[in-house]
Amino acid sequence: MKVKEIMDKEFIDVSPDQGLIEVSIKMEKHKKFTTPVVDSENHLVGWITSLDVTRGLRENLKTVSDIMHPKDDIVHVHENDPARLAVLETSHHKLVSIPVIDDNDVVMGVVRSFDIVETLSQLYEIKVSKIFEAMEQELKGVSWDELMEASAIVTRRRIGKRIKPQEYEKNIKDATFGEAIWATGGLEKFFVGLIAIGEMVIARKVARARN
Amino acid sequence: MKVKEIMDKEFIDVSPDQGLIEVSIKMEKHKKFTTPVVDSENHLVGWITSLDVTRGLRENLKTVSDIMHPKDDIVHVHENDPARLAVLETSHHKLVSIPVIDDNDVVMGVVRSFDIVETLSQLYEIKVSKIFEAMEQELKGVSWDELMEASAIVTRRRIGKRIKPQEYEKNIKDATFGEAIWATGGLEKFFVGLIAIGEMVIARKVARARN
């Protein structure tokens, strides 16, 4: 996934000679805490936040150029950078948004932290039952009931908790992937549990074929 | 995971009768775009953003109470709510931060979108090799080399790409879980690929045991 797939293209921008009163009204109207500063050809030249604007208004400064952070001092990413880079920059520098440029330094969008949250959280929100359904499809000759039975047995062996296959089925129907890895103690442990279940049903399938 | 495990406890707050000049200086100093408004016993009574402050300074308003959003109009979460709720509220309402309260409405912290990004991205950053190492440990009697060989075969069957076990090993050594699910087309497909690898090595192990 690339930065351009997660960036907001509906951004506002301002110019260095724009007045702070006008700029504050624009930022409030569009509910933006940050905005890129561009020249007449939309090249990124700087960045301002609403905290720069409060300082500017308080100190009676006049234009964007009086308060802006020049391009060299700010974090920015390229539209073709991996989205992962924008994620790492956001969390590392604790940023609410990052400007996105193209090869010519033209501003193409803004990556926003809440949009990243939305993208990242999709993985956590996947239903665990979807993973089991994919497993059932993959393991030809193994039924859903056999999977649930093996899951109940593996659960008892691993965490010592007696659970009926029907209860297990009900649990995974409601649970999300995020909850499951939290409950099992991490991604590797969750996956190892699945492999243990797979190993059991495969061993049973092989035994059946032999008889 | 609960909200209190991901919230920032180093937050600032302001009172309704505080002057806007003083508040703007405090928010700039601590680099906060938002802050809870509390009464003398730290109960949440409202919320302001730096965009409310720019409007207040521009319109010559005097105190926090002139610009604040009352508690009933804003999103807030309880410290014992599931962290998932704060994540969903952040992405749904496109918020940069959310105040956290306890049973008595006392402000306990602030959940910030970039902190959520950091927490969520940890899952994406797990190395794929860690999952294979967990798999190797779980599947007693299956060697790492057998796992890599089976992985190369499964990859060829599924995506038609010829790859040597050594190349496969090199790929997973560098890859993250996020990159892997992106490359395979989603979480379910990634898991199904691993299950297919597991099935192959288990079948071989069973055949070996029979001979």
What tens digit of pLDDT does each residue of A93-114 get? 999 999 999 999 999 999 999 9
**What's the whole-number mean pLDDT along residues A12-32?**
98
Is A16 a residue whose pLDDT tops 80?
A: yes
Long-range CB pairs of B55-62, under 8 A, 24+ apart, other chains included: B55/A24, B55/A28, B56/B20, B57/A54, B57/A57, B57/A58, B57/B20, B57/B21, B57/B24, B58/A21, B58/A24, B58/A25, B58/A57, B61/B20, B62/B19, B62/B20
How confident is the prediction for chain B on average, in pLDDT?
94
CB A74 within 8 A of CB A67: no
Above 90 in pLDDT, residue B158?
Answer: no
pLDDT at B207: 78
Q: Do B87 and A203 touch (CB under 8 A)?
A: no
CB neighbourhood size of B174 (10 A) = 10
Question: B57 to chain A: which residues are within 8 Å by CB?
Answer: 54, 57-58
CB nearest to A202's CB, from B55, B90, B199: B199
- Average pLDDT rounded to a whole number, residues B86-107: 96
More confident residue, A18 or B207: A18
Cβ within 8 Å, pair B196-A137:
no
Among A53-62, B21-30, B104-113, B163-172, the minimum mean pLDDT is found in B163-172
CB-nearest to A202 from B188, B191, B202 is B202
* Mutation site for A-interface testing, chosen from B113, B157, B182 by largest number of A Cβ within 10 Å: B113
Cβ contacts (< 8 Å) between B84 and chain A: which residues?
Answer: 124, 176, 178-179
Cα separation of B107 and B41, whole Å? 10
Q: Which two tokens stand for residue B113?
A: 């979108």
Do B33 and A21 lie within an 8 Å CB cutoff? no
Q: Is the pLDDT of residue A210 over 80?
A: no
Reply yes or no on whether the pLDDT at A161 is more than 90.
Answer: no
Q: Cβ B192–A134 below 8 Å, yes or no? A: yes
The pLDDT value recorded for residue B125 is 93
**Reported ipTM exceeds the 0.90 cut:** no
Q: Which residue of B has its CA nearest to A135?
A: B192
Residue in chain A closest to B118 (alpha carbons) equals A91
Q: pLDDT value at position B30?
A: 97
Query: Is 0.80 surpassed by the pTM of this model?
Result: yes
Nearest-Cα distance to chain A for B19, in Å, is: 12
Q: What is the pLDDT of residues B132-155, one digit of tens each?
A: 999 999 888 889 999 999 999 999
- Å between B54 CA and nearest CA of chain A: 5
**Nearest chain A CA: its distance from B123 CA (Å):** 7
Of A32, A31, A38, whose CA–CA distance to A70 is shortest? Answer: A38
- The pLDDT of residue A118 is 94
pLDDT the model gives residue B159: 82
- List pLDDT tens digits, range A24-67: 999 999 999 999 999 999 999 999 999 999 999 999 999 999 99
pLDDT at A167 > cutoff 80: yes
Cβ of A139 and B199 within 8 Å?
A: yes
Measure the CA dihedral A35/B119/B26/B77, to 10°. 100
Q: Which residues pair with B109 in a beta bridge?
A: B100
**Mean pLDDT for all residues in chain A:** 94
* Contact (CB<8Å) A58/B25: yes
Average pLDDT over residues B98-104: 98
